[in-house]
Structure 1
Amino acid sequence: MLRQSQQQKLLQKMSPQLIQFLKLLRVPTIEMEQRIKEEMEINPALVYESDAATSSSSENIFEDDNRSEDSGEDFQEEVSLQDDHADQVDIDDYLRSENDDGGYAYNNENDKNPYSYLKNDVDFHESLLEQMQMLSLSEKEEKIAEQIIGSINDDGYLSRSITAIVDDLAFSQNVSTTEEEVKSIIQRIQQFDPPGIAAYTLQECLIIQLKRIGKPRETIAIAISMLEKHYEAFVKKHFDRIKRSLHINDVQFREAMDMILKLNPKPGAAFENPTAVNKTYIIPDFFVDNNDGKIEVMLNSKNAPELRISPDFREMLNDFGRTDKKDKKNAEAITFIKQKLESAQWFINSIKQRQATLLQTMNTIVDLQKDFFLTGDETTLKPMILKDVAELTNLDISTVSRVANSKYVQTQFGTYSLKHFFSEKITLDSGKEVTNKEIKSILAEIIEGEDKDHPLRDEDLTDILLKKGYNISRRTVAKYREQLMIPVARLRKS
């Protein structure tokens, strides 16, 4: 039986203004200028302060003394981020749709590449196409070569199988070819620079590079044999087995190893991808200075210029309000202008609120980690989690998380991610509280000083830390070791 019933629910809603503020809060300074430009492109009511013909920051921008009743209702100058709005958004829908990777746990997320390359202004694929022109190829072979080059990824490896390349040529280029023809041209492309390109595997890539090296011949032959015949043992660092199989001594083995370790595992990375964002270029969001023992915090406003409401738009609204024509077109124009003005004011208020929240959070972090900002000594960092900052600032934990995510501070001791100052609290047997950073530092020192012929296992590291008073589990030791990007004992063996 169908029944009708009434039900009351208390739901938490987020206004569009608050959503806009939260999204702006996550944007780092390096992206803020672009975000403002995008907003100004879609809203002509926004202008830079220097471009505004008149400046009256204290007056009500929506106030019109001569406005008729038909021109519309009054607007407030300041729109609170918590005000109700007709178009409410469910908070669950927003949280589901937002890609909030700030989180509450702060681990070592540095995207560090262990290999360092010289960046080149020439596009990688353009360089390969230029080298292709130096070959004596027929029209058909050129199409095959172009298809192969297009199948090479940014690291320099072929991403399509030979069979797939043959099919691609047949369907997209109407070129009939064989796997033997494609393989022959791949081998010719593998002679291009940088050495090692157009390989399918790391093993093949390294062997190609070795074959391009001139001398010493004996060492090259040993290195190639190591990779061709004993690659699995090489990867697993079963070096004794390799030496026995190849009948070589320690000197020959080390010379071959040194040659292999100098090879480039990602030959395509020698060229900078022009479409990729340079993640290593950092613009600090904050500046912290030590002025005779007094710490001063400043917000980097370089990429967040002062914005104002366009006086032309305000005058335009006044003109429409004074006109005697009260037709539908006039009403639509007034509605459009008001929407743009209101949207512009919301955006300006969101930026101001963002700046205030950033400063409030950063000042609290500085107060909690004052010893570090005075001395630069990592050991003075105190245990601090998001909740500690949230309680002192009366902000939500998620708000603090958004502030800390992708933000950087420049100090006299260097530039740091805000995540660097957050760490877990660990209580020692003595009752003393230390940060997990201190344990990681000690762990790194222990591994650095270990006997490389007999590296320490995680169980051994746990016992050593326990003797030093750090009572943590083997699983935690393994987690910290991985965060330090230190491999397991077997792979650390010399």
Structure 2
Amino acid sequence: MKPGLALRVSQHLTLTPQLQQSIRLLQLSTLEMAQEVEQMLADNPFLERADDEDATTDGAGERAAQAGADGDTEDGADDPALTTPAHGGDEPAVPDTVALLESATPAAPDDWPTPADADAGTGGADDAFVPDDTDWSWDGPGVDRDGRQADEEHGSAAELARSTERLQDHLHRQALALHLDDDERAALYFLIESLDDDGYLSDSLEDLTAALWRHVQAADPTAGEARQEEVASLMRRALGWLQAMEPAGVGARHLAECLRLQILEQPNTPEARAALALCEQPIEWIARRDMRRLAQATGLDDAALRAGLALLTRLEPKPGRRFADAERQIIVPDVIVTVQGAQFDVQLNPAVLPRLRVSDLYAQALRGLRGGDLQQRLQEARWFIKNLQQRFDTILRVARAIVERQRSFFLHGEVGMRPLVLRDIADELGLHESTISRVTTAKYMATPFGTFELKYFFGSSLGTDAGGNASSTAVRALIKQMIAAEDPRKPLSDSQLADLLKEQGIECARRTVAKYREALRIPTASLRKTL
């Protein structure tokens, strides 16, 4: 085979580190983004918080005067992507990163520097973009025109999450009021830490006692049977102390015991005695409200059964609910929508916006140097701020487009929701559908009707008699209204709900009604029936 030279033309995509970071930041939730910012602040010495208002203002004035003297007008301050969107004006043009990946272009945009530029010492990243590093500082839309930080009292999402007390901490504080010796306190501590998020002991007392006994043996190998019996007695007493704590029902092993503990905290009335008798019966009978079996098993008359069942429905089946996983339940909206008449104001939430800038001290020290690891870290800091701003710009653009499409929702509530799919917003904004999916995932909007994930405003459509479409969200709201207005003694079946929707011109099959009802966590007609 004879060797030779040949020319070949081909196209390929270059996924730069900046593009990867832009995509990753776009799909992060508020809490995840806060963690990313903290990690970047810890790793990159050139990145710092822009909290010193006086220093920032003075430095900006000096640099503006210097820029005017040098006649330099092609710096990053005139870059539209660095304009704060919350202050009004034209919205910045944000590159659609997913469209760049999925298109057939040979490389990323020409004005995006690569690490090779810095290593080669060409200066393309620094000279073409930002001769002055302070132009990369970004206070975010949370700063008003006078430079003051808005809504400082809100705090960060992580701080809000940490402010909620855990169930175990709540119980440990109550345990401090008990006069216990060291062994008793250790047994009670062991039980409290064994509770699940709902406040139940998911393991049996025997298994928990065996686990504690293994710890005792590990600490004292000479412990004998007498010590083992003492540990078992301690655990039984500790269970009693735990189940006497607040919230009532904590420390139960199953639902019937949880309900019984709560009933015992109430006055000894005929209603409470009937409820106690019901707790001794299979829980399935109570769930189905099988009056015949319950009457035969308890010997209670119809009036007593109804009173006992009414008391059971008022009890809390999960005593640890208000403490459970409080950190993950904290929702900090990314966008805030206010309605004034027929006008909507859509702004980013100042509480989630980081105030970052490139350290002027380090940047000035490196000015004039080319190449090297430090220069690359400086470039990374600049691009991190740039990508953060692109993230919030994209979220704001998508949120404004959603509000414009769902104006009826903000005026009339859920029943006014219109059919909307991701492609509608993607086509309107000139972005890729995958970008819209990333933006609307784990991002929340605060509205006069509550806080919703951005995906909530998207829904499939159902046909109507008039030839139009109705949003599935609006149909669910109608089903919820119909059930709320039904006669509790004769609740509406799924077929009846489908017929009522048809009377309003909405074609919805019975199975679709059942699916929407289950999504709303509404039980079947038999379980909704009031005796």
The answer to whether the superposition gives a TM-score over 0.5 is yes
CA-CA distance at 1:434 after TM superposition:
1.4
User: In the aligned structure 2, how far is the partner of 1:160 from the partner of 1:400?
Assistant: 45
User: In the aligned structure 2, how far is the partner of 1:60 from the partner of 1:8?
Assistant: 36
Tell me the alpha carbon deviations over residues 259-307 of structure 1, each in whole angstroms, 9 at most, x when there is no partner.
Answer: 222322222345x46x7416355334244555x8555543334532454
User: In the aligned structure 1, how far is the partner of 2:278 from the partner of 2:31?
Assistant: 47
Alignment check: 8 A CA contact 1:423 1:437 kept: yes
The 5-angstrom pairing of residues 36-185 of structure 1 reads 36-49=37-50, 50=53, 53=59, 55=63, 59=75, 72-77=121-126, 124-132=167-175, 139-174=182-217, 176-178=227-229, 181=233, 182-185=235-238
Alignment check: 8 A CA contact 2:335 2:346 kept: no
User: In the aligned structure 2, how far is the partner of 1:352 from the partner of 1:16?
Assistant: 17
Corresponding residue number in structure 2 for 1:419: 455
User: In the aligned structure 1, how far is the partner of 2:407 from the partner of 2:127?
Assistant: 36
Scaled by the length of structure 2, the TM-score of the pair is: 0.69
CA-CA distance at 1:413 after TM superposition:
6.1
Tell me the alpha carbon deviations over residues 376-404 of structure 1, each in whole angstroms, 9 at most, x when there is no partner.
Answer: 45444321111111111121112111222
Corresponding residue number in structure 1 for 2:389: 352
Corresponding residue number in structure 2 for 1:24: 25
1:482 aligns with 2:531: no
CA-CA distance at 1:132 after TM superposition:
4.3
1:491 aligns with 2:491: no
CA-CA distance at 1:457 after TM superposition:
2.9
Tell me the alpha carbon deviations over residues 435-476 of structure 1, each in whole angstroms, 9 at most, x when there is no partner.
Answer: 112322322233233343343332333344334432222221
Gaps of 5+ in 1: 1-6, 62-68, 81-118, 322-333
Tell me the alpha carbon deviations over residues 48-97 of structure 1, each in whole angstroms, 9 at most, x when there is no partner.
Answer: 45555455695379xxxxxxx999331314999xxxxxxxxxxxxxxxxx
Task: Supply the AA of the counterpart residue of 2:385.
Answer: I
Change (3 A) 1:45 1:199: same
1:300 aligns with 2:357: no
Task: Supply the AA of the counterpart residue of 1:362.
Answer: A
Corresponding residue number in structure 2 for 1:327: none
2:316 alignment partner, SS class: coil
Task: Supply the AA of the counterpart residue of 2:515.
Answer: K
Task: Supply the AA of the counterpart residue of 1:462.
Answer: A
User: In the aligned structure 1, how far is the partner of 2:405 from the partner of 2:258?
Assistant: 50
1:336 aligns with 2:367: no
Task: Supply the AA of the counterpart residue of 2:39.
Answer: E
User: In the aligned structure 2, how far is the partner of 1:490 from the partner of 1:412?
Assistant: 35
Corresponding residue number in structure 2 for 1:406: 442
1:364 aligns with 2:414: no
Alignment check: 8 A CA contact 1:156 1:267 kept: yes
Change (3 A) 1:311 1:128: closer
Task: Supply the AA of the counterpart residue of 1:200.
Answer: R
Tell me the alpha carbon deviations over residues 136-191 of structure 1, each in whole angstroms, 9 at most, x when there is no partner.
Answer: 65554443333222212342211332232233223223265248523343234322
Corresponding residue number in structure 2 for 1:389: 425
Change (3 A) 1:407 1:464: same
Q: 1:213 aligns with which of 256, 266, 279?
A: 266
Tell me the alpha carbon deviations over residues 1-22 of structure 1, each in whole angstroms, 9 at most, x when there is no partner.
Answer: xxxxxx9998766432222212
Corresponding residue number in structure 2 for 1:116: none
CA-CA distance at 1:39 after TM superposition:
1.9
User: In the aligned structure 2, how far is the partner of 1:476 from the partner of 1:389?
Assistant: 26
User: In the aligned structure 1, how far is the partner of 2:407 from the partner of 2:333?
Assistant: 23
Task: Supply the AA of the counterpart residue of 2:228.
Answer: T
User: In the aligned structure 1, how far is the partner of 2:120 from the partner of 2:127?
Assistant: 20
Change (3 A) 1:33 1:162: closer
CA-CA distance at 1:40 after TM superposition:
2.0
1:485 alignment partner, SS class: coil
Q: 1:200 aligns with which of 253, 260, 263?
A: 253
Alignment check: 8 A CA contact 1:283 1:408 kept: yes
Corresponding residue number in structure 2 for 1:452: 488
Alignment check: 8 A CA contact 1:166 1:177 kept: no
User: In the aligned structure 1, how far is the partner of 2:9 from the partner of 2:239?
Assistant: 69
2:357 alignment partner, SS class: strand
Scaled by the length of structure 1, the TM-score of the pair is: 0.74
Change (3 A) 1:196 1:400: same
CA-CA distance at 1:368 after TM superposition:
2.2
Change (3 A) 1:483 1:145: same
Task: Supply the AA of the counterpart residue of 2:349.
Answer: N
Count how many residue pairs are aligned between Structure 1 and Structure 2.
426
User: In the aligned structure 1, how far is the partner of 2:119 from the partner of 2:434?
Assistant: 44
User: In the aligned structure 1, how far is the partner of 2:250 from the partner of 2:498?
Assistant: 43
Gaps of 5+ in 2: 1-7, 65-72, 78-117, 130-161, 218-222
CA-CA distance at 1:478 after TM superposition:
1.3
User: Considering only aligned residues, what root-mean-square deviation do their CA atoms show, in Å?
Assistant: 3.7
CA-CA distance at 1:200 after TM superposition:
0.7
User: In the aligned structure 2, how far is the partner of 1:78 from the partner of 1:260?
Assistant: 73
Task: Supply the AA of the counterpart residue of 2:436.
Answer: V
User: In the aligned structure 2, how far is the partner of 1:368 from the partner of 1:433?
Assistant: 14
Alignment check: 8 A CA contact 1:457 1:488 kept: yes
User: In the aligned structure 2, how far is the partner of 1:448 from the partner of 1:287?
Assistant: 28
Corresponding residue number in structure 2 for 1:315: 364
1:441 aligns with 2:477: yes
Alignment check: 8 A CA contact 1:440 1:480 kept: yes
User: In the aligned structure 2, how far is the partner of 1:302 from the partner of 1:129?
Assistant: 33
Tell me the alpha carbon deviations over residues 233-260 of structure 1, each in whole angstroms, 9 at most, x when there is no partner.
Answer: 1122213432344333333223222322
CA-CA distance at 1:45 after TM superposition:
1.2
User: In the aligned structure 1, how far is the partner of 2:493 from the partner of 2:20?
Assistant: 49
Q: Which moved more, 1:149-158 or 1:477-486?
A: 149-158
Change (3 A) 1:9 1:251: farther
Structure 1 vs Structure 2: percent identity of aligned residues?
A: 29
1:252 aligns with 2:304: yes
Corresponding residue number in structure 2 for 1:104: none
Change (3 A) 1:194 1:399: same
Alignment check: 8 A CA contact 1:28 1:285 kept: no
1:177 alignment partner, SS class: helix
User: In the aligned structure 2, how far is the partner of 1:129 from the partner of 1:306?
Assistant: 38
User: In the aligned structure 2, how far is the partner of 1:255 from the partner of 1:406?
Assistant: 44
User: In the aligned structure 2, how far is the partner of 1:134 from the partner of 1:282?
Assistant: 36
Change (3 A) 1:121 1:432: closer
